[in-house]
Amino acid sequence: MKKILIIALAATLFAFCCTAAPAAEKPVIGLVMKSLANEFFKTMEEGARKFAAEDGTFELIPVGMNSETDIDTQINAMENFISQKVDMIILAPADSVGLVPSVKKAIDAGILVVNFDVTLDKQALKDNDLPEDFLFVGPDNEEGSYLVGNFLGGKIGKGAKVIIIEGNPGADNAKQRKAGFMKSVADYEFELLESTTAHWETEEANTVMTNLLTRYPEAQGVMCANDSMALGVVRAIEAAGKSGQIQVVGFDNIGACQELIKEGKMLATVDQFGPEMAANAIKVGFRIKGGEKLSGWVRTDVKVVSAEDLK
C-alpha cells in the first residue's frame, strides 16, 4: 500500500509540475503595411501569414491602411504596437519622413524595428537621432523602374512621347521609381509630355490619365510607378478607344496586371516578389535578435515580367 501511495503521489507531483510550469510565450511581431486595397499588399499579407504559420515560432499581427494616403492609420498602428510592447515591428512606411518619429519612439521603448519595402528618409532619421544607414530590407526601386522603362523603350523606340504617373510624393520608393524612369527617358531620348502623381491609387490614375489623353492624344507610352495605377491608366486608354496604341508599364506584378499583359493591354511590369517581402524582413529581424549586427541595405530582387514570362 505504501508503494502504491508513493507512486500515486509522485505521479500527482509530476503532473502538477508539468501543468503549473508556464508555457514559453511566442514573440509577437507587428507588421505595418500600406493600403490593403492594393492587391500587392494583400498578397504581401498572405505571404507573411503563410510564413508565420509554417514557422510556428512567433505570433504575427498584420495591420494595413484604408488608402495609400492614410498616414495616420500607420502612426496609430505604431503607437498601438508600442503600447502592447511587441517584440518586433516590421514597417513599410507610407511616408518616409512622417513615420520616423514613431520608429524612434519604438526603438526608445526597446522594440526592434525593421524597415522594408520603402526606405525611411535619411535626413529625418538624422533629425531624430537615428543612424542614416538605418537597416532597410527591400528592392532597388530605381533599378526596377529603369529596367522596365528600357523595356518600354525597346518597344516604342527612341524619341517616343511618354507620360510618367508617379506614386505618393512623400514615399522614397516613389522618388526612386521616378528617378529610374527618368534615366530611361534620357537613354531613349523620350519626349516627356508630363510627369504627375496619382498617389498609387487606381481611380485617381484613371481620372488623371483620362485628362492627359485629352491634352496629349499623341502619347505613345506610359510609365506607372505601381500596378494599381496602371490598372486605372489601361481603363482610361480603353475608354478613349486607344487600346494597343499606347504601351503601358507598371511595377509590382499583381495578378490583375498579369492578365492585362497576357491580353496585350499592358506591356510589362516589375516583379519585386511581394509575397516574400515581409517574410524576408521578419527573417532579418530574427537574425538581429540572434546577435547579428546589421545596418544599411539588405537588397532583394527585381525582375521585368512581360508576356513572354507569363506563357
| pLDDT tens by residue, 27-49 | 999 999 999 999 999 999 999 99
In a domain, 255, yes or no: yes
Same domain assignment for residues 145 and 250: yes
pLDDT tens for 282-303 read 999 999 999 999 999 999 999 9
Same domain assignment for residues 61 and 152: no
Same domain assignment for residues 194 and 74: no
In a domain, 179, yes or no: yes
Same domain assignment for residues 262 and 116: no
Count CB atoms within 10 A of the CB of residue 155. 15
In a domain, 16, yes or no: no
Same domain assignment for residues 153 and 262: yes
Residues forming a β-bridge with 164: 195, 223
Mean of the per-residue pLDDT values for the chain?
92
pLDDT tens for 190-247 read 999 999 999 999 999 999 999 999 999 999 999 999 999 999 999 999 999 999 999 9
CA distance 294 to 242: 50
CB 243 within 8 A of CB 267: no
Domain with 146, as residue range(s), is 141-271
Same domain assignment for residues 160 and 111: no
Per the structure, how many domains does the chain have?
2
pLDDT tens for 156-165 read 999 999 999 9
Q: How many residues are present in the chain?
A: 311
Same domain assignment for residues 147 and 256: yes
**CATH code, 33:** 3.40.50.2300
Helices (H), 188-292: 202-215, 227-239, 255-262, 274-289
Model confidence, pTM: 0.88
CA distance 297 to 140: 10
Same domain assignment for residues 292 and 262: no
